[in-house]
Structure 1
Amino acid sequence: MSQMATRIVRELHDEPHLEGRRLTVQFIKVQVEDRGLEPRTVADRHDLDVADVYRALTYYHDHPDEMRTVERERREAIAAHEELTTDPDAVRK
């Protein structure tokens, strides 16, 4: 991947992601910090500069309130989806 700096933006999703990619800051954080993958491994698997991985991690930790909101909204969306798919009457509500 080129050495151009990738910005963190919110243009394609309702959450921060790498500009021009569908990879969210949250996804990268989970891969590195929760799953224990090396930043270089995440970069290689997703055709990124390792600097992009660190940029996403930095963004995550520099914006804790925003990231907590993103995580809460994601949990709520998943719960709503699960309710619709497990409760046939939920569609009628």
Structure 2
Amino acid sequence: MPQHAPRVTQELLDEPHIEGRLISVLQLHDRVKELGADPEDVADEYALDVADVYRALAYYYENPEEMKAVRERRETDLRDLRENIASNRLDGVSPPT
């Protein structure tokens, strides 16, 4: 009996990802399309079936507005984090070395 690959879900992190895993659709897309990684290599790296990688890519392209919102939310969170770190350093608080 063939094994069914995990599906894309949003049960964790308020962002589409591979069911039962923490790897997100956006991360898989960026590895393959932005960094030029081979889908088979990405699947091997994350112990996924290559179909999972292609399923994530299909989800990304089938839901452009959602994926744009996810990317914008990540960028906002990262900017806020950087500003918070910079603000703490200005207040004389710095992370441990």
TM score, norm. by length of structure 1: 0.90
1:5 Cα shift?
2.5
The code of the aligned residue for 2:11 comes to: E
Number of the residue aligned with 2:94: none
The code of the aligned residue for 1:5 comes to: A
Number of the residue aligned with 2:20: 20
Number of the residue aligned with 1:69: 69
Moved over 3 A (4+): none
In the alignment, the residues of structure 1 paired with residue 3 and residue 70 of structure 2 have an alpha-carbon distance, to the nearest angstrom, of: 29
Aligned length: 89
Correspondence list, 1:43-62, <5 A:
43-62=43-62
Asked if 1:79 corresponds to 2:79, the answer is: yes
Give the gaps of 5 or more residues in structure 1. Answer: none
Q: Is the 8 A contact 1:31 1:42 kept in 2?
A: yes
Q: Is the 8 A contact 1:7 1:19 kept in 2?
A: yes
Larger radius of gyration: 2
Give the gaps of 5 or more residues in structure 2. Answer: 92-97
RMSD of aligned alpha carbons: 1.5
1:51 Cα shift?
0.2
Assess, with a 3 A threshold, how the Cα gap between structure 1 residues 14 and 56 changes in structure 2: closer, same or farther: same
